[in-house]
Amino acid sequence: MAVPIIELREISKAFPGVQALDRVSFEVREGEVHALLGENGAGKSTLIKILTGAHQPDSGTILLRGQPITIPDTRQGLKLGIAAIYQELSLYPDLTVAENIFMGHQPSNRFGMVDWRQMQQRARALLHELDADDLDVTRPVRGLSVGNQQRVEIAKALSHDARILIMDEPTAALTQHDVERLFEIVRRLRARGVAIIYITHRLEEVFLLADRVTVLRDGRVVGTTLEVSQTNQAELVKMMVGRTLDTLFPKDPAIPGEVVLEVRNLSYGRTTRNVSFTLRRGEIVGLAGLVGAGRSELAQVLFGITPAQSGTILVEGKEVRIRNPREAMALGIAYVPEDRKLQGLLLPMSVRENTTLAVLRQLLRYGFVDHHAESRLTQEYVDRLQIRTPSLMQQVANLSGGNQQKVVLAKWLAAKPRVLILDEPTRGIDVGAKAEIHRLMNALAHQGMAILMISSELPEVMGMSDRILVMRQGSIVAELDRQSASQEAVIAAAMGASELHLV
């Protein structure tokens, strides 16, 4: 068997309070897609950072083509042909595609000035290899779709002549169509002998794409690296969580009560057009649609972030006006936003301060924050949502994605809402935390909460919803109930039947 292009031997790395990696050994061969699985906090990110040179291991060896090496920083990592594409893309929005691709190593002419013509030619050539000829290299990155931005990132990695490409959850924010294009690119790169380390939370992708798979749990490799053909989803899930998950979507059929929220002809700009629907106590309504169909925008209208320009909102039968989030909160509406880091959390602040942020007014005694009451309340939700944190005073930035999401949920559950709007509640979090959040949603609906769930993950929409609303271009174009809904029907409505044959 060929020498692996890169090999880690017994790598360990500790941070204050955690052993992030514990004697991890791992190898990748040329022309291989090697999937790396693990719940958030299992050590995947640390492993990537060691490979790219962003972190130094405490002990252990890294071998590149059999030779021991050290990677002192990411610049050196790139020189050695190791590049990473992160979940959060790191492009400069106001620079052009070509400039982004060659950021830091622009081709220059003999006067030391940037050689624009050569830069654009080479950028075009790189994108051509990715079958992305449609991308104009002279336009700014701002406004490109996530899929196209990702292709720019990949071209950037290739411009460094990367032989080892690390992809961290590359499909997390992509539309189905872009996902397929990405798979095509990955297969192309593999055929060219690039070694690809592919990190994902979506198990089906492992079987579609990867040759081998390694599972990390609590900083250790679980068992050994497996050939994908020799394993199955159930086995991988068991390895990741250390237990078998009974069901991923534990939704019981709801017993819907009276109408809590009714919306008639709601409009805002071009993104929300004449939207009407009702939401009853105890039901979970899924809001499906393509990225950009106006689902989050609708949620923001309901929550008063961008107040409706026309239309009527009724809460428990009474007509109301919602002009800002405070008014929405007073009416018992809560919104767990799509981007937890940007819109949901105060990352440098503690679990306690984040959890009580929306209900701080209720925790005042003579105008001062009652820290005992604050801790009691936080502890209650930490226990109830099983938030894994060393203490209530832990900075939220140090928690894993799943636990961060639970903190955002805790903040809004503490406000005791009647209507809970969840925007991509399980995006980018691991299987275990995902199942916990689904169980929680189920329990909340049972207690009579009305839940509106926005999700781009069809299995989640199908599995969790009592009813499904489908949005397209700012309007609700279909309403399907649990029995009659099929994935095909949702997709057909989301894309508009006439566009369906184009895909």
Partner 1 sequence: MTSKTSSAVTFLPSRLQSMLRTQEGVLLVLLVVIVVALSLLSDRFLTVNNLLNQTRLLTETALLALPMTLIIISGGIDLSVGSMLAWSAVMLGFSWQLLGLPLPLAVLVCLLTGVVGGAINGLLIAYVRVPPLIATLATLAIYRGFSFGISQARSARGFPEEFAFWGQGQIGPFPTQFVILAALIVAAHLLLSRTGFGRWVYAIGNNELAARYSGIPVERVKFTLYTLSGLMAGLAAFIFTSRVTTTRADAATGLELDVIAAVVLGGTSIFGGSGSIIGTVLGLVIITLLRNGLLLTGVKGDATFMVIGIVLILAVLVNNLVRRR
Gap between the Cα atoms of 64 and 77, Å rounded: 11
Question: What does DSSP assign to residue 173?
Answer: T
Residues 373-412 that bind partner 1 (CB under 8 A): 411
Identify the sign of the CA torsion 165, 169, 173, 179: positive
Gap between the Cα atoms of 429 and 42, Å rounded: 12
**Closer of 349 and 440 to partner 1 (Cβ):** 349
Q: Calculate the alpha carbon distances from 37 to 59, 165, 207, 431 in Å.
A: 23, 16, 12, 11
From the number of C-beta atoms within 10 Å of its C-beta (0-12, 13-18, 19+), residue 173 rates as buried
* Residue 306 CB, nearest approach to partner 1 (Å): 12
**Closer of 199 and 396 to partner 1 (Cβ):** 396
Is 267 a residue that touches partner 1 (CB under 8 A)?
no
* Residue 319 CB, nearest approach to partner 1 (Å): 21
* Residue 395 CB, nearest approach to partner 1 (Å): 11
Gap between the Cα atoms of 171 and 177, Å rounded: 11
**Letter for the amino acid at 483?**
Q
* Residue 90 CB, nearest approach to partner 1 (Å): 20
**Closer of 153 and 353 to partner 1 (Cβ):** 353
* Residue 413 CB, nearest approach to partner 1 (Å): 13
**Closer of 102 and 268 to partner 1 (Cβ):** 268
Q: Which of 146, 172, 179, 347 binds partner 1 (CB under 8 A)?
A: 347
Q: Which of 2, 17, 243, 483 binds partner 1 (CB under 8 A)?
A: 17
Token pair for residue 111?
């006067």
**Letter for the amino acid at 158?**
L
* Residue 57 CB, nearest approach to partner 1 (Å): 12
Is 346 a residue that touches partner 1 (CB under 8 A)?
yes
Residues 207-246 that bind partner 1 (CB under 8 A): none
* Residue 376 CB, nearest approach to partner 1 (Å): 17
Gap between the Cα atoms of 495 and 292, Å rounded: 11
Q: Which of 349, 478, 491, 492 binds partner 1 (CB under 8 A)?
A: 349
Gap between the Cα atoms of 309 and 294, Å rounded: 15
Token pair for residue 167?
């992809």
Residues 21-60 that bind partner 1 (CB under 8 A): 58
For the CA atoms of 379, 381, 385, 390, what is the dihedral angle to 10 degrees? -30
**Closer of 12 and 106 to partner 1 (Cβ):** 12
For the CA atoms of 337, 340, 341, 346, what is the dihedral angle to 10 degrees? 90
The window from 129-137, 266-274, 352-360, 440-448 that contacts partner 1 (CB under 8 A) reads: 352-360
Contacts with partner 1 by CB under 8 A: the residue count is: 35
First-to-last CA distance in the chain? 41
Q: Which of 162, 357, 407, 468 binds partner 1 (CB under 8 A)?
A: 357
**Closer of 172 and 347 to partner 1 (Cβ):** 347
* Residue 425 CB, nearest approach to partner 1 (Å): 15
- Collapsing DSSP states into helix, strand and coil, what is residue 143? coil
Q: Which of 63, 103, 208, 369 binds partner 1 (CB under 8 A)?
A: 369
Q: Which of 110, 113, 368, 447 binds partner 1 (CB under 8 A)?
A: 368
Concatenating the DSSP letter of every residue in 60-110 gives EEEEETTEEE---SHHHHHHTTEEEE-SS----TTSBHHHHHTTTS--B-T
Is 372 a residue that touches partner 1 (CB under 8 A)?
no
DSSP lists the bridge partners of residue 500 as: none
Site residues (vs partner 1, CB under 8 A): 14-19, 58, 303, 305, 324-326, 328-329, 335, 337, 342-349, 353, 357-358, 360-361, 363-364, 367-369, 411
